[in-house]
Structure 1
Amino acid sequence: MSSDYFAAPVLANQWVTLEPLAPAHADDLAAAVGQLHTLWYLDHIPAEGDVPAYIDGLLAEKDRVAWAIVAPTGEAVGVTTYLHLDPVNRNLEIGSTWVGAAHQGSRINPAAKLLLLTRAFEELGCLRVEIRTHFMNQQSRRAIEKLGARLDGVLRRHKILASGLVRDTCVYSIVNSEWPEVKAGLAARLR
């Protein structure tokens, strides 16, 4: 089972496809990054001209599984990952997710989360899935809470970002006993 944690199969539903991240996604992702307003508290979004290096960096990490988020049009519009993989304790984190501005607020992100959470709980047998975000990222916090994740707490002065800002990190989670209700909520949102 543990080797499955480190695999990135294609995951798809009618709203989105998650493809293993590859250099071939660079042009689409550069266009999607160009739509974003760079926010001072985000440190996981590549610079527009730096997408190939960003992809190479994600693929080089041994404790991360990365997917390109592909819209029904066939274009890659963002990235999402599993990280902090812990098959022994059957948990992982979903993170470093971003979606181009043209697709924010659409079904893309909840549909991607449905795929990732279904894989985590129903295929990998996770007991817990964690999602973290910057305390100041209200848009992300609302989206995480709308998924049905619960706030476990805030790691104060947790991380120094490339900008020098010291980040407080909100830690959310969904546990396996909550998954059926969270899944039903996501399915209802997507209908």
Structure 2
Amino acid sequence: MAFIEPVRLEGQHLVLEPLSLEHLDGLKAAVSDGELWQLWYTSAPHPERMAAEIERRLGLLEQGLMLPFALRRTDNGQLCGMTTLTNVDAKNRRVEIGYTWLAKSAQRTAINTEAKLMLLTHAFEALGCIAVEFRTHFMNHQSRAAIARLGARQDGILRNHQIMADGSYRDTVVFSIIEGEWPMVRRHLRHQLERR
């Protein structure tokens, strides 16, 4: 049995559905909410490149390197973004939660918190991970603050870590939650959701 397999995760505010090309139109609409592809420090795809991005993620799923999801709101049934478990290291039972983007209308709501709670629960409790990483662009201060609010700790900064599509260099900030911290983080995230 593979370390990762497509799975549907259901919460109060959203459902994480295994990504498929059937999500194409809804994800085009979601990424257009806020024109997310114009933010230079993110990797949200342009609507015209959404099909290629879905196919890329599905190819990584076939290789056992990524578990991609589409995010669907429960209040209106609309798709509002994408996320993944990526950089899968089955031998060392580690994954990264990444390649996440949310429609502007879904940002700063309970959706991100619940999505992360469901992904972390799956990683630690179903997959038996010993650590879960988060990575973001150094200049993406909104993302860095959101990751810290989850209870993740900053491990460090990988300087000149990647070359961006425009040729600029990306410094990547790395955060993680380790298995010993998971019970406290889970309690914290549940508390955050109860307050919304």
Is the pair's TM-score, using the shorter chain for normalization, greater than 0.5? yes
Shift of 1:36: 2.5
1:76-118 deviation per Cα after TM superposition (whole angstroms, max 9, x unaligned): 1100001111111111111000010011011111100000000
Aligned counterpart, 2:12: 14
Q: 1:71 aligns with which of 67, 70, 73?
A: 73
Which secondary structure state, in structure 2, belongs to the residue aligned with residue 6 of structure 1? coil
1:31-70 matched pairs, under 5 angstroms: 31-37=29-35, 38-42=38-42, 44-61=43-60, 62=63, 63-70=65-72
| 1:131-150 map, 5 Å | 131-150=134-153
- In structure 1, the partner of 2:87 is 84
Which residue, out of 152, 161, 164, partners 1:161? 164
Q: Deviations over 1:12-71 (max 9, x none)?
A: 1111100000111111110111113421112x2110222112111111112111000110
* Alpha-carbon distance in 2 for matches of 1:91, 1:52: 28
Q: Which runs of 4+ in 1 moved over 2 A?
A: none
What TM-score does the superposition give when structure 1 sets the normalisation length? 0.96
Distance 1:143 1:87 in 2: 27
Which of 121, 125, 139 aligns to 1:122? It is: 125
Which residue number in structure 1 is paired with residue 113 of structure 2? Answer: 110
The answer to whether 1:173 aligns with 2:176 is yes
Q: Which amino acid aligns with 1:172?
A: F
Q: CA deviation at 1:163?
A: 1.2
Q: How many angstroms does 1:167 deviate by?
A: 0.3
Which amino acid is 2:34 matched to? L
Structure 1, gaps ≥5 residues long = none
Paired with 2:129 and 2:177, the residues of 1 have a C-alpha distance of: 10
Secondary structure of the structure 2 residue equivalent to 1:32: helix
Separation in 1, partners of 2:161, 2:107: 27
Amino acid at match of 2:98: G
Cα distance between partner residues in 2 of 1:36 and 1:87: 36
Please, what TM-score do these two structures have when normalized by structure 2? 0.93
Aligned 8 A contact 1:41 1:165 in 2: no
How many equivalent pairs are there? 188
**Backbone CA RMSD of aligned residues:** 1.0
Aligned counterparts of 2:152 and 2:77: Cα–Cα separation in 1: 29
| Alignment gaps of 5+ in structure 2 | none
